[in-house]
Amino acid sequence: MLVTIITLVSSILFSQSLFFSEYAEGTSNNKYLEIYNPTSESIDLSGYAFPSTANAPSTPGMHEYWNEFDSGSIIAPGDVFVICHGSSDALILAECDQYHTYLSNGNDGYCLVSGPESSYDIIDCVGDFNADPGNGWDVAGVSEATKDHTLVRKESVTSGNLGDWTTSAGTDVNNSEWEVYDVNTWDYLGSHNSGGSGDTGGGDSGIPVADAGQNQIVDFSASVTLDGSASYDSDGIILGYSWNQVSGPNVNVDNYEQAVISFNAPSDYCVLEFSLQVFDDEFNYSTIDYITVTVGTVSIYDFQYTEEQGQYCYESDMDGQEVTVSGVVTHVKSGSYPNFFLQDPECDDLWCGVYVYDTSVDTQVGDIISVTAEIEEYYSMTELVNVSSYSVISSDNNVSSTLISASDLGIECSMSGEQYESMLVEIRNVSFDSVDEFGNWTVSDNSGMVMVDDYHFDGTFPSISAGDSFDCVTGVVAYSYGEFKIYPRNTDDFSCSGCVSNGDVNSDTNVDVLDIVSIVAYVLGNSEFDSNELCISDVNQDTNVDVLDIVSIVSSILGNR
């Protein structure tokens, strides 16, 4: 009891002394928060937390997520405590004291507080809990400075802002509490100066800063220029540059030891990574800065298609890479975590969908969006996470399902099932056979069995008994707990999509020889059908388009049925 009282008193005495000394929102997962202890005593962080919001808070002025420090966390006097993403650069990980996956993408407010969640005091904030700032907050006159920048607290700052982020951010370099640095500037991480009259609390290390420039997306075979001339040294001059190709197909660069280098991009899709290190007139070497060059555009198919068997099921060989893809939103999960499914409408019905596990995107079903995010395998379910940017291209677009048989998907991991992961599919003549203790239904059609679950359902799931049947069941596909499952989105997914399987594949309101020619070409493999055309052509509704459907159409034209 005495130890608890001493810890509590210590927390109260020093609660207004801790403050954020540095913040970084860099490329990929290179994100961190640094907290400084300017006191002469070690501070136990058990009475503190760093709550946050994601974009626009559910209740303005209130946090959405309560984030606690790891048990046993202590900041020594004059030392810092670094919270970082677990997949950060090795230079960041070397200084990191605690991992936290969901650090800011630039527009997520974080505060350092003391006390319990029910009644805490705000010590300091980066951003706020009031409203969505867009891509980020302005700081020191720099637009959207909390995105793609590093912020370092000025040496003159000796305490937190108590939640007054507007004043702390300031409007120019003079009235802001922060110095704003380019993306991936980590020179000041791991220590802090406070109480002086200088600007950057990180101090002038005398070490130059390498700046490889912003990541690029270029066309196949395009001429690419990498410009490191923005590198600088605060107390001297840059004498030398050293570029190095880190990954990707080798490209031909004449001279890697100059500020600006150029090369021709490969003719196939790939991601090239380069590093830049500089040294100054005192032969101090900078930390290494990185830049990626994405050659060509990537589709969902490019990273979903795989023949690689992972620990649980098939996994993308692009796991961990950042990509920019576009597609139509087929489902948004209801509730506080509006993750969503994205499907490429230009895809040919296989390997076309992906689950976006990120709550920062404001979208709805029927939106065609472009999203930049990182590929992650979550127990062999391919997801896009850590969205860094997105844009809504258009809205109210048609969302159509792909007609499959239960045997196409199956239940256990298979190559056949993997190709439908995260796609919107429809099965027909469905019998609900049995349900397990977790509410997972085993259902069947005339081809085999598959599972149906209510996890993504919006509303009250229909009351179903074993033996009930439905003409159609539609839903998104996910791989969960070692099983492929179809997840209906709402009550409409328990009725047929509206396609009329009458053979009018060219949709000219007549069923005639032109339709037969089109279907014959498909059966012979000379043309491709989208899911709606397949539905229309499947006249006998056996989930296959074949010669039996052609016979049925011919009979109809001749008046024999």
Q: Is 402-494 the same fold as 216-295?
A: no
Determine the pLDDT at residue 189: 93
CATH number of 216-295: 2.60.40.10
With cut-offs at 50, 70 and 90, classify the pLDDT of residue 3. very low
Lowest mean pLDDT among 100-104, 350-354, 497-501, 521-525: 497-501
Task: Check pLDDT > 50 for residue 17.
Answer: yes
Determine the pLDDT at residue 368: 95
Q: Which residue in the block uniquely carries the two structure tokens 């259902």?
A: 443
Residue 3 exposed, middle or buried by CB count within 10 Å (0-12, 13-18, 19+): exposed
Task: Check pLDDT > 90 for residue 556.
Answer: no
Q: Identify whether the C-beta of residue 294 lies closer than 8 Å to the C-beta of residue 324.
A: yes
Greater pLDDT, 249 or 511: 249
Alpha-helical segments (H) within 234-312: 300-304
Q: What is the mean pLDDT of residues 24-32?
A: 94
pLDDT averaged over every residue in the chain: 89
What are 381-421's pLDDT values in tens digits?
Answer: 999 999 998 989 999 998 989 989 999 999 999 999 999 99
CATH number of 402-494: 2.40.50.140
Determine the pLDDT at residue 500: 66
Determine the pLDDT at residue 203: 45
**Position 131: which residue type?**
A
Coil, strand, or helix at residue 282?
A: coil
Residue spans of the domains in the chain: they are 2-182, 216-295, 300-394, 402-494, 513-557
Q: Which CATH class is domain 300-394?
A: mainly beta
Task: Check pLDDT > 90 for residue 561.
Answer: no
Cβ contacts of residue 216 below 8 Å, gap of 6+? Answer: 224, 291, 292, 293, 294
Task: Check pLDDT > 60 for residue 235.
Answer: yes
With cut-offs at 50, 70 and 90, classify the pLDDT of residue 46. very high
For the chain, percent helix, then strand, then coil, each to nearest 5? 15, 35, 55
How many of the other CB atoms lie within 10 Å of CB of 482?
Answer: 12
Tell me, what DSSP letter sits at residue 144? T
Q: Dihedral sign for Cα 83, 84, 86, 91, please.
A: negative
Instruction: Tell me, yes or no, if the pTM score tops 0.85.
Output: no
Q: Using CA atoms, how far apart are residues 158 and 442, in angstroms rounded to an integer?
A: 62
What are 139-163's pLDDT values in tens digits?
Answer: 999 999 999 999 999 988 999 999 9
Cβ contacts of residue 8 below 8 Å, gap of 6+? Answer: 47
DSSP states along 22-40: EEEE-STT-EEEEEE--SS
Cβ contacts of residue 254 below 8 Å, gap of 6+? Answer: 261
Coil, strand, or helix at residue 302?
A: helix
Bridge partners, residue 277, by sequence: 242
Buried-state track 153-168, b at ≥16 Cβ within 10 A, e below 16? bbbebeebbbbebeeb
With cut-offs at 50, 70 and 90, classify the pLDDT of residue 204. very low
Lowest mean pLDDT among 315-319, 348-352, 369-373, 485-489: 348-352
Q: Identify whether the C-beta of residue 487 lies closer than 8 Å to the C-beta of residue 478.
A: yes
**CATH architecture designation of domain 2-182:** Sandwich (2.60)
Tokens of 69: 């420090």
Ramachandran category for residue 503: left, alpha or beta (phi over 0 → left; psi -120 to 50 → alpha): left
Greater pLDDT, 530 or 516: 516
What are 249-286's pLDDT values in tens digits?
Answer: 999 998 999 999 999 999 988 889 999 999 988 888 88
Count how many Cα atoms sit within 13 Å of the Cα of residue 347 in the half-sphere of its side chain. 29
